[in-house]
Homo-oligomer: A and B are copies of this chain.
Amino acid sequence: MDPSFLEAAKFISNEYRDLNGTGIEILDHPPSAIEFSRVIHISRPTIIKGFRFPALDLWTDEYLTKKMKENPISIATTPNGLADSICRASDGRLYFVEPFIEKMTMQQLLFKLGSKTTSPKPEIYYLQSQNGNLFSSSSFDSESNEATDNNSEFFPLLSDVPKEVPWCSEALGQHPDAVNLWIGNEQSITSIHSDPYENIYTVVRGEKHFVLLPPSDSWCLKERYYPHATYTRTSSSEALEILPSTEDIPQVRWSSILDPDSPNAFPSEITPIRVTLKAGESLYLPVGWWHYVRQSGLTIALNWWYDAEMRGMSWTLLNFLRNSTTIHDGNYNDNTD
């Protein structure tokens, strides 16, 4: 990558901020499809109130436990709440570490998330399987709106969740690629990253705290290549340890900004947008926007991912902006550009 691209990216970053500010628009009601198409065209995060569906009223601990019975569900488990994040292993090297996946029942998960006791083996649990754990694109293969052919671990809950966001599907002219359920608490953190998706995120219970940066600020995210690893344990009684993956697993490109809330995380001219999303509120998180996410207390959320439009200028620009800085090996260029 041409190092001079950095200056161009900084110019675009400043111009974008000057023209667009750092505010966030709030819609008091869900938009019509045509109104939402204009929001997508602007591609700014937007809070949308009033997108209602049964889960918002039904999903108490009791209801979820009763519905899910003894069904095993896959829970990301880490010693520190950092699933899919950069961590230093005992060998002194930094890795992109995926969580250990533990199977448990919904009742067990809710108990662990609500429990305030410090166990002798403290571990953090986060339902964040994000593989279309409720619905995926194949859920739309049949004409039926009923989720009869779904392999979801959360099958008993599917009737409480819309398969798609009507005004978003119509605006984009497509069904979602994946619909996910997220359940965690204040101990889990989603490290800062961006997705190649248009995203609708709805909080069912609790609160989500987002730190957001536009794609034009990609140059200060310090993306690096990190070797891949996974939390694992040798036996069920052992603590989780970082197990480096074999050499054939490709390195992972990830931001080196571990805490966007720290005072010196970004250059002084960069102003992240901070949004707290409460129960019943939805966030339109446009393709390419960087986001860091925390929760307050037990928090249940849903998201609908839609494939981004690759035709036109946006995709080209997103690629340029992400590639505007030289991407080093994270273990040899920790603190330099």
Contact = CB atoms under 8 A, between A and B. Distances in A.
Interface of A: 2, 4-5, 7-9, 11-12, 15-16, 19-20, 33-35, 37-38, 40-44, 170-173, 214-216, 309-317, 319-320, 324
Contacts of A8: 2, 4-5, 8-9, 320, 324
A216 B11 CA distance: 16
Nearest to A214: B313
A11 to B, nearest CB: 6
A286 to B, nearest CB: 9
Contact of A312 (B20, B33, B309): B20
Residue among A7, A42, A314, A317 with most chain B CB within 10 A: A317
Contacts of A311: 19-20, 42, 44
A20 B324 CA distance: 21
Contact of A11 (B11, B12, B320): B320
Given A37-B41, A309-B42, A310-B19, A316 B5 contact: no
16 contacts: A2-B7, A4-B5, A5-B8, A8-B8, A15-B316, A15-B320, A16-B313, A19-B311, A19-B315, A34-B171, A34-B173, A38-B171, A40-B41, A42-B309, A44-B311, A313-B314
Residue among A9, A33, A34 with most chain B CB within 10 A: A34
A318 to B, nearest CB: 9
A8 B44 CA distance: 24
Contacts of A310: 19
A217 to B, nearest CB: 12
Contacts of A40: 41
A324 B7 CA distance: 12
Contacts of A170: 34
A54 B154 CA distance: 58
Nearest to A15: B316
Given A2-B4, A19-B316, 4 more contacts: A2-B8, A34-B173, A35-B173, A37-B37
A257 to B, nearest CB: 21
Nearest to A43: B312
A317 to B, nearest CB: 6
Contacts of A2: 4, 7-8, 11
B5 A11 contact: yes
A11 B3 CA distance: 12
Contacts of A12: 316-317, 320
Nearest to A310: B19
Contacts of A215: 313
